[in-house]
Amino acid sequence: MKNMIKTLVDAYESKLLETRHHLHENPELSFQEYKTADYIRENLKNMGIELQEGISGTSTVGILKGSEPGPCIAFRADIDALPVVENNDLPYKSKTPGIMHACGHDTHVACLLTLADVLSSHKELVKGTVKFVFQAAEEKLPGGAKQLCADGVMNDVDFIFGMHSSSGYPLGTVVVSHGVSSAAIGIYEVTVHGKGGHGSSPHECLNPVPVACMVANTLNQIMGEKKSPTESGVFTVSYINGGQYPNIITDDVTLGGNVRTLDNQLILNIFKNIEGVSKGICEGYGLTCDVTTTVGYPATVNTPKYADLIQNAAEEIGYNVIEKPTSLGGEDFAYYVMEKPGAFFHVGMADPERLITSTPHHNGQFILDERGLRIALETEIAVYLKATGQM
């Protein structure tokens, strides 16, 4: 089976790279992936793959049914790029000023389109139904996954897999978590309302600046007080804005930041405390405040059974599998696995000879070793064959 998978990928590798280069040259921002969606849909139709109706916006879902019974398995790729200027000297460099595939989503789409091509051309491998989920807007709240779930994409799915390329792990490495794969993320903002006036007469004013500083300092202690010492989480005060002249006491000060935890309930508890602490401090000094909190993406919790499946499939085709270290990055794949079982994994695409200079995601010099694309495709094929009892 290992040799068969490698032979299959040999036949499709040039098209895999061609697809990735086209997508990298033509990036589009979240919720604006119109040409990308057209490209995906045209390719799926040419493969004879049915498109699911009722899908909102620029997301696309392809459906491939086999002649033999089996589960309905979904694979997901995100399709959006970032507002980043590309600083790489590549023959397929972004042609769109100020926009770049700086997180590898072009490789995700290329791999999933090629997986669809492989399976549609080899229908004897298809047992049951395969859904190819090309999701808009992973990079921008509220994300595309939530809407796809509302559109019913998961209703008939038995389980789902997602892949992410990574410059943080060397070529030949597959990384998977048997528990929490990504964090719950949220943002908050507190606007402290006082009474402005002349800097010479602070007694006639209600200065919001020192009170906002007290709020910020106290909020910074919430995470340490409310989470278990064995849990991971981070609380950040990222900005504080208010006032502009030394002799003017301003009316309002705004501060805010982000919260990240590995527990979906903990982030809600933190938000409740943000409101209570902020209003309590302001009231004590005779001021008021408005507090807004927004839960971004929930934590992605892999189903251990399907994490095991990914690990076994990758090892059987010769790749090194490691347990994913705890990370507080966010990923809206969480919405899918809140509805049905599944697992999310990473494929290392850092050149082993330049690991120390590998550039992180969301950077203008972000680059991947393209030899990793065939590894990702081989792994996706192996996962599918393993999930359908063919391996």
Domain ranges of the chain: 2-181+300-387, 184-295
CA distances from 69 to 126, 127, 368 (A): 9, 6, 38
Is the pLDDT at 386 greater than 70? The verdict is yes
pLDDT at 229: 84
Question: How many degrees, rounded to 5, is the angle at CA 228 between CA 272 and CA 281?
Answer: 35
pLDDT at 356: 54
Contact 235, 257 (CB under 8 A): yes
pLDDT at 351: 81
How confident is the prediction for the chain on average, in pLDDT? 95
Residue 358: band (very low, low, confident or very high) from pLDDT cuts 50, 70, 90: low
Contact 114, 374 (CB under 8 A): no
Lowest pLDDT segment from 6-10, 101-105, 124-128, 229-233: 229-233
Is the pLDDT at 21 greater than 90? The verdict is yes
Lowest pLDDT segment from 14-28, 93-107, 202-216, 357-371: 357-371
62, with CB counted inside 10 A (0-12, 13-18, 19+), is buried
pLDDT at 1: 87
DSSP reduced 3-state for 167? strand
DSSP reduced 3-state for 64? strand
Mean pLDDT value across residues 189-203: 96
pLDDT tens string 207-260: 999 999 999 999 999 998 888 888 888 999 999 999 999 999 999 999 999 999
* Cα separation of the two ends of the chain: 7
**In this prediction, what percent of the chain has a pLDDT beyond 90?**
92
Helix axes 264-284, 208-219, angle to 10 degrees: 150
353, with CB counted inside 10 A (0-12, 13-18, 19+), is exposed
Where do the DSSP E strands lie in 184-325? 184-193, 197-198, 233-241, 248-249, 252-261, 288-295, 300-301, 320-323
pLDDT at 357: 55
Mean pLDDT value across residues 345-373: 87
Would you state the CATH architecture of domain 184-295?
2-Layer Sandwich (3.30)
- CA 53 from centroid of its chain's CA atoms: 25
DSSP reduced 3-state for 103? coil
Question: Tokens 């950040």 — which residue?
Answer: 236
**Cα Rg of the chain (Å, integer):** 24
Instruction: Name 252's Cβ contacts closer than 8 Å, sequence gap at least 6.
Output: 191, 192, 193, 194, 208, 242
Lowest pLDDT segment from 18-22, 126-130, 233-237, 304-308: 233-237
The neighbour count for residue 85, using CB atoms within 10 Å, is 11
Catalytic residues, which ones? 297, 370
Lowest pLDDT segment from 146-150, 301-305, 322-326, 349-353: 349-353
pLDDT at 355: 60
pLDDT at 232: 82
Nearest residue to 330 via CA among 233, 217, 249:
233
pLDDT at 179: 94
The neighbour count for residue 33, using CB atoms within 10 Å, is 29
Single pTM value for the model: 0.91
CATH superfamily name and code, 2-181+300-387: Zn peptidases (3.40.630.10)
pLDDT at 353: 76
Lowest pLDDT segment from 97-111, 206-220, 308-322, 349-363: 349-363
Pairing of strands 127-135, 68-78: parallel
Mean pLDDT value across residues 268-289: 96
Contact 106, 26 (CB under 8 A): no
Mean pLDDT value across residues 69-89: 97
pLDDT tens string 320-357: 999 999 889 999 999 999 999 999 999 999 987 766 55
Lowest pLDDT segment from 94-103, 194-203, 217-226, 333-342: 217-226
